[in-house]
Chains A and B, each alone.
Chain A
Amino acid sequence: MEILVLLKQTFDTEAKVTVKDGRVVDDDVTLVINPYDEYAVEEALKIREAVGGTVTVLSVGPARVDEALRRALAMGADEAVAIEPPADADEYVTASLLAAWAKDRKFDLILAGNVSVDTGAGQTALRVAEALGLPHVAAALKIEIAGNTATVHRDAEGDTEIVTVPLPALITAQQGLNEPRYPSVPGIMKAKRKQIARLSPADLGVDVAPKTAVTSVYQAEQNRLNKMIAG
């Protein structure tokens, strides 16, 4: 089974968010693999362990995403690829780049996160499925592969839907799918020696302009009464 995981690097969920000059400041912020994408990596590894094959992780992001990709390699992924983000990339641009890379590579299964915990549009993975003409199942809580069919338990607003989908397909991970492993020491050593390929949009022949623009960013304010009532 050839498996591709779409992985985004995000702010750590504890990170303090500061807005300066209309931008979220990202110096000195701890960056992690988007938690949902970590479930996707774990699931890919589990499926590979069960049926064999390879796991490739792919990310659109600046040089620092290598750190997240290297962690996925240390968890056990076979190969990692980064794509340089064009300025002001939006979900349309990001998905176009991811799809362009995946298009001719014949993956049986593409796993991704349900949503990113930072800018959180929840669009990118589903756009990739559309661009590739693949069926998708979102918010998976359980995935079983038998032959060319995946049976997926998915979270549908609190209810669980059990659906089948023919492969190749794209499936996004919901919390509860699995418990991601920690990289082992040998895994970390092995990952250190691996090359992470970096491509530009031009390498992929993709030249698309963003469809959306961010016009302002501002900090949330809290105005709470803070009235205490004796218990």
Chain B
Amino acid sequence: MARNILVVAEVRNGAIRPVSFECIAAGREIAEGGAITAVLLGQQGVDASELIRRGADRVVVVKGDHLANYTPDGWLSALQQVYLQEKPDVVLMGHTGIGRDLLPRFAMRNAAGMISDAIAVKVEGGQVVFTRPIYAGKAYATQVVKDGLIVATIRPNNVAALEADPGRTGDVSEAEAASVHLRTVVKEVVRKATTGVDLTAAKVVVAGGRGVRSAEGFKPLYELAEVLGGAVGASRAAADAGYCDYALQIGQTGKTVTPDLYIACGISGAIQHLAGMSASKVIVAINKDPDAPIFKVADYGIVGDLFEVVPLLTREFKALLG
């Protein structure tokens, strides 16, 4: 059964987010001959045809000054407008700050079922089956939407994006968003993300725990992250102690990350921390306690003082990559 797919693409720091390409790839898995339409809501200044090269058949760019900043009212109304026009069978978006905020309301508006935070999707016996972690990654569930519109968010870094195909072409059209009264108003955005790399989508995460001992102690971690093009994360103990912002916290009550490389520095490996990072592809742990539980989930364990090991790694990687 051919399915038409609508991918809600996102722009961050002037570029289309990788997870949007990953959603297109997920769409390809399940389209079975249907078309993939990517939609950009109010986000100008990017080359929309990049979405075509990454596997979309068409792109719709919805224009409207009120869409420049995300607000639930503005974006939901614009998405609903595109949805009613396109009538897709499936709507996909990254499980990002905006994806989680927008799609549950969109699903409810259309009395649709939604699968959140899927890490894989395929067609099985004619049904679209999503896999998602539950109980903080201690188990997995496969879930389906029984009938009607399928809505889902896809966790960053889990579905491989398609290589850009420079030869692919497709239609890029524009639409004007109807104006809408915005009830929530964004007064100010205080930028905190520090390395400029989004933690939840980063390919490399360097995380610090109580062992980092101070805000100052995070410095070498930032240097290592910088060299690796990664983001800095933290345990709750580090955030609680005020060494870093809560925004960096990884774990059951923090962010969930699945980078290619996770480097845990001075983190003991409490179950609640593991909940947020245990699905990382390669885990490296640096801890001075050889019995720290983090070593049980690590691919590579380094017993030592993080203040010696981390700068050493930074130097080695600099030499290797630079």
Contact = CB atoms under 8 A, between A and B. Distances in A.
A228 interface: yes
Contacts, number: 226
Interface string B174-192: 0000000001111111111
Contacts of A91: 104, 114
B116 A121 contact: yes
Interface size range of chain A in the complex: 35 or more
Given A91-B114, A212-B115, A36 B253 contact: yes
Contacts of A13: 136, 252-253, 271-272, 275
B21 to A, nearest CB: 18
Given A120-B116, A156-B97, A135 B144 contact: no
Contact of A212 (B105, B133, B143): B143
B300 A229 contact: yes
B299 A212 contact: no
B299 A224 contact: yes
Interface stretch (B24-32, B207-215, B240-248): B240-248
A11 interface: yes
Nearest to A134: B183
24 contacts: A13-B252, A91-B114, A92-B107, A95-B108, A117-B253, A119-B134, A119-B135, A120-B117, A138-B100, A156-B189, A157-B193, A158-B193, A158-B245, A163-B186, A174-B246, A176-B239, A211-B113, A211-B145, A211-B148, A212-B115, A212-B146, A222-B297, A226-B295, A229-B301
Given A13-B271, A14-B271, A126-B105, 19 more contacts: A90-B113, A92-B108, A117-B136, A117-B275, A123-B107, A130-B104, A135-B72, A159-B190, A160-B192, A163-B187, A175-B249, A211-B148, A212-B114, A212-B144, A215-B142, A219-B138, A219-B140, A225-B300, A231-B305
Interface of B: 72-73, 96-97, 100-101, 104-105, 107-109, 111-117, 129, 133-148, 183-193, 198-200, 236, 239, 245-249, 252-254, 271-272, 275, 278, 283, 286, 288, 290, 295-305, 308-309
